[in-house]
Structure 1
Amino acid sequence: MSLTPDASGVFPIAPTPFNPDGTIDWTSTERLFEFYDGIGSDGTTVLGIMGEAPKLEPEESVRIVKIAVARMPGKPVIVGVSAPGFAAMRSLARQSMELGAAGVMIAPPPSLRTDDQITGYYAQAIEAIGTDIPFVIQDYPLTLSVIMTPAVIRKIVMDHSSCVMLKHEDWPGLEKISTLRKFQAEGSLRPISILTGNGGMFLDFEMERGADGAMTGYAFPELLIDVVKLQKAGSRDAAHDIFDAHLPLLRYEQQLGVGLAVRKYTMMKRGILASDAQRKPGSSISAKAKTEVDYLLARVAKVDPRAKV
């Protein structure tokens, strides 16, 4: 299976489950991907920023890819292969594709500043991993501090036929989606899938601007699936209604520095993860914060019974 420009739907970003001692919880890892498959996710993305990928040993990364492919049969698995050097990137990319992954995601290093540096980096990265591997551009300036204009994204896409998707995480970014779709309508940009991130914070309107779905890690990916399906069906008010019910929890989960801790705590409460542990160095939330999350879950449950945990 290969990732294509018509990919759409919801690809949850998978956290890496850890035991309290810092070892990987392989039982929870299997359960996590079975959960994603069972709720109707269209695919998944592993070894992303929220997956604590830089903290993993190479053998652990490969095993996670194996499990994701096995537990989500017939669905595309995208592997984050960003690395300081191209040798490590190439190794993980090639191994992942051999294991059955559908494509890879590449984020630009924070040192890039000019348009030429950005496009040059992607040219080198694609040369390193091979032009036969479908890849996703990760555009996440809030964390990576690399600013990609629509014109830069267009150049990367048009220069590399193996580029099939943009993970759009600019903020604010609605106008960027509109601009890219305008390029496509005018014929200066070939068709490309656009999946959005930022925890789903703007998914309600991102879908209306031309996004194809979401690739993010909100602790209730079922909500993301609902919004995407309802928007595609033209049920705008219903999409916004269910989105609005989850928005306070979405917002709380998006706090810089503790977002992953909130997400893992919620997923532990849901029984998906056995522990909310992170591998050191990692963040945690206080007992007070946990009561706040519990309160938000109870409020969401008044509208969405899936939040009754």
Structure 2
Amino acid sequence: MTFPAPLSGVVPPVCTPLTPDREVDVPSLLRLLDHLVGAGVHGLFVLGSSSEAAFLTDRQRVRVVEATVAHVAGRLPVLAGAIDMSTPRVLDHVASVTAAGADAVVVTAPFYARTHPAEIARHYRLIAEASPVPVVAYDIPVAVHTKLPSGVVLELAAEGVLAGLKDSSGDLAAFREVVTGVREQQGITDFSVLTGSELLVDAALALGADGAVPGLANVDPDGYVRLDRLSRAGDSDGARAEQERLCALFGLVGVGNPGRMGGSSSALGAFKAALHLRGVIDCPVTAEPQVQLSADEVAGVRTFLVAGGLL
């Protein structure tokens, strides 16, 4: 499928279902894709944080992209994360996921060593030069320890190096700078600004964002598609009510006991538990070394699903 310019709407960061022995569960993945496509989402993002890409082997990453592209069969654009520490390693991932059929690649800043804005810009220019598909920047400082400077994003957008931004920084003021800059700066066309926040989609769309990439959309894609539709129709009261329902549902990410697991284990475990409880995936396990939810914690997820009208 040709990558839409700009990409807009709801683009879930697709979870990666695993078997009990931690291999990619392709049948469950295909059911999850049907669950999302059937809700009317506008694109699919595989191999991001919600996909547990950092915990997958290179072989497993390629398997996810191949299975997704084959199953979707051009109905929606498929974005694939090409996430690694350095430019050469990212270029290897770009080659792999585009050979597997990805319509665009999603790339973070380099990480491990502290990175200067000039190095970030060079990183993206080198990747765009080599990539056969559009490059979307992924701003996720909690994972890579670098905030993408708004000025660098806008500069690269004006050069045509970047086709979009997936902003998971939590910095709404900086997000606004990019949205405003895209609108006002000459030379920027067809650039997508997407929020990665589950909780501020209505606000982001009101600011002029093109869409959202919320992990919770795995669990309730219908809710986020409904929120997107209400926002675009100018129904601010309806959009706010739907956003508030989704904010309450998002409480499920906190079911894990912080005394024995990290936030990622809790959130991704809750997403997968919810998908399992809803009958979408066969097994709710997360990749090692993440800690698994207990039976009581899974019961907590069920409580949120019932309250949200999903069970």
How big is the shift at 1:162?
Answer: 4.2
Residue equivalent to 2:95: 94
Partner of 1:294: 302
Q: Normalization by structure 2: what TM-score?
A: 0.88
Whole-angstrom distance in 2 between the partners of 1:145 and 1:54: 15
Residues 153-181 of structure 1, C-alpha deviations (whole Å, 9 max, x = no match): 1122223x2411110112132x2233223
Gaps of 5+ in 1: 302-306
Residue 34 of structure 2 corresponds to residue 34 of structure 1:
yes
The aligned residue for residue 258 of structure 2 is: none
> What does residue range 158-173 of structure 1 map to in structure 2 within 5 Å?
158-159=158-159, 161-173=160-172
| Aligned residue pairs, count | 298
Query: What is the CA–CA distance in structure 2 between the aligned matches of 1:264 and 1:189, rounded to whole Å?
Result: 42
Q: Which amino acid aligns with 1:260?
A: L
1:187-241 CA-to-partner distances (Å, cap 9, x unmatched) read 346031111113x121121111111111122121221111111101111111111
Q: TM-score under structure 1 normalisation?
A: 0.89
1:103 alignment partner AA? A
**What is the CA-CA distance between 1:88 and the residue it aligns to?**
4.1
Candidates 198, 203, 209, aligned match of 1:205: 203
Query: Aligned residue for 1:265?
Result: 273
Any stretches of 5+ residues in structure 2 without a counterpart?
256-262
Question: 1:18-33 counterparts in 2 under 5 A?
Answer: 18-33=18-33
Note if contact 2:12-2:41 (Cα within 8 Å) is conserved in structure 1.
yes
1:63, 1:295 → 2: CA distance?
34
Alpha-carbon spacing, 1:51–1:223, altered in 2? closer, same or farther (3 Å): same
Is the 1:142–1:171 contact (alpha carbons within 8 Å) kept by the matching residues of 2? no
Which secondary structure state, in structure 1, belongs to the residue aligned with residue 12 of structure 2?
A: coil
Distance 2:98 2:181 in 1: 31
Check the 8 A contact 1:2/1:103 in 2, yes or no: no
Secondary structure of 2:125's counterpart equals helix
What is the deviation of 1:283?
Answer: 2.6
Shift of 1:51: 1.2
Shift of residue 87, structure 1, vs aligned partner: 4.2
Match of 1:142 in 2: 142
Contact residue 139 and residue 148 of structure 2 kept, 8 A? yes
| Distance across 1 between alignment mates of 2:38 and 2:226 | 14
The 10-residue stretch of structure 1 (281-290 or 221-230) with the greater mean CA deviation from structure 2 = 281-290
Quote how far apart the aligned CAs of 1:67 are: 1.5
Alignment partners' CA distance in 1, 2:167 and 2:53: 19
For the residue of structure 2 that corresponds to 1:152, the secondary structure is helix
- How far off its partner does 1:102 sit? 1.0
Paired with 2:161 and 2:17, the residues of 1 have a C-alpha distance of 31
Match runs of 1:65-84 below 5 Å: 65-73=65-73, 74-84=75-85
Please state if 1:275 is matched with 2:283.
Answer: yes
One of 169, 174, 177 as aligned partner of 2:175: 177
SS in 2 for 1:45: strand
- Residue 125 (structure 1) aligned with residue 127 (structure 2): yes
Q: For residue 194 of structure 1, what is the aligned residue in structure 2?
A: 193
Identity across matched positions, percent: 24
